[in-house]
Structure 1
């Protein structure tokens, strides 16, 4: 389930990409599949072991061009171990809401981005997230949980302060918002609750089958209750700076 629009980012063969806070690797795998030289970057060693194993399996099974390179790297998003202007594309999906020093993290994302490069950031959207927080403390008040709720314009301004320009915004995953409201209402640890189980089966079916009805419904609902907001930025080229 992708939150970032890779067509909009122009990721393809030879594009140097870093997926900061890659988690289970969904965006890392898509970049690799498209032929990019991609780094899946995270602080969770267990997740990274799985990401590395899947990247190797994809390469062995021919699911990515032979020219593509993929690696999993452990580290701190507040101190990325790369020189300035290393990557053509930087992705940070559903990570900044976890980071106390979010402005420092944003500065690092911008620093490693090449002039003319694209930055994509996604975070939980204010309204669906606010409902989750109202329904359940367990949803966010835990180790590594969400520490803030962003308004899109607040996040936008934090990035624009570094001299980038905003190129596009969109919302995603409207069908997932009610699922999380339901989990928060019955208890986030009650995965076996009949209503939660039934809705989860619906989401899995939707992701696997992608039927016209649910795709159309989600497109219509995304502007209203999309679970995530995605913001796309461009770093000025050297001549523009």
Structure 2
């Protein structure tokens, strides 16, 4: 609804393994990122925000994103990054969520940026942008202290990014 509210005239589809996608205002489809229920070359943009880390077939999910993207279409994926902050996620899981399932089931796997980039190129996508972000405490502290130059440098240091993103074009 944010895009529609800002004048983007497009059709939106949400995919979820449950019917939760219906709340997004998009045309909701129950499906699985490892076998998307769409024809080849269906979309100008395919994105996944914090989904593919919850199952071991990450490479397959990236391939599916590429499959349903049109020629010249874009794919954007963001997921937890295997970084110095991964142990903090594990501690949070142990305190708050352990009774609901394993760490990988609840929090998802942490993936290295280089691995995700390889999944993109193996799927026939040309990488257009990539990076890591979200250095939690350090990032917020530097920002509040007005040390923007140092903050920007920390964001560029791969081991300190809690999350990664990769964008590519088919």
TM-score scaled to structure 2, two decimals? Answer: 0.75
Match of 2:156 in 1: 223
User: Are the aligned partners of 2:66 and 2:124 in contact in 1 as well (CA < 8 Å)?
Assistant: no
1:115 to 57, 65, 71: 71
Unmatched 5+ residue regions in structure 1? 1-28, 53-69, 180-201, 203-210, 236-241
Match of 2:50 in 1: 94
Match of 1:164 in 2: 125
1:145 equivalent to 2:106? Answer yes
User: Are the aligned partners of 2:33 and 2:64 in contact in 1 as well (CA < 8 Å)?
Assistant: yes
1:50 equivalent to 2:23? Answer yes
**Residue 39 of structure 2: SS of its match in structure 1?**
coil
For 1:37 and 1:149, the matched residues in 2 are separated by 31
Distance 1:102 1:217, change over 3 A: same
1:218: how far off?
5.7
For 1:221 and 1:164, the matched residues in 2 are separated by 28
Distance 1:113 1:215, change over 3 A: farther
Distance 1:49 1:84, change over 3 A: closer
Question: What does the per-residue CA deviation read over 1:127-179, in whole Å, with 9 as the maximum and x for residues that have no partner?
Answer: 144222553553682573244321100111012012211111133333xx339
User: Are the aligned partners of 1:120 and 1:230 in contact in 2 as well (CA < 8 Å)?
Assistant: yes
For 1:92 and 1:132, the matched residues in 2 are separated by 23
1:232 equivalent to 2:167? Answer yes
**Residue 164 of structure 2: SS of its match in structure 1?**
strand
Radius of gyration: which is bigger?
1
User: Are the aligned partners of 2:42 and 2:70 in contact in 1 as well (CA < 8 Å)?
Assistant: yes
Unmatched 5+ residue regions in structure 2? none
Distance 1:219 1:73, change over 3 A: farther
User: Are the aligned partners of 1:85 and 1:111 in contact in 2 as well (CA < 8 Å)?
Assistant: yes
1:41: how far off?
1.5
Match of 2:137 in 1: 178
1:30: how far off?
3.6
User: Are the aligned partners of 1:32 and 1:38 in contact in 2 as well (CA < 8 Å)?
Assistant: no
Runs (4+) off by over 3 Å? 29-34, 133-137, 213-221
Question: What does the per-residue CA deviation read over 1:31-53, in whole Å, with 9 as the maximum and x for residues that have no partner?
Answer: 434413211211132x324323x
1:101: how far off?
1.5
Stretch of structure 1 that moved more, 139-148 or 121-130: 139-148
Question: What does the per-residue CA deviation read over 1:97-138, in whole Å, with 9 as the maximum and x for residues that have no partner?
Answer: 112211221221111000011111111122144222553553
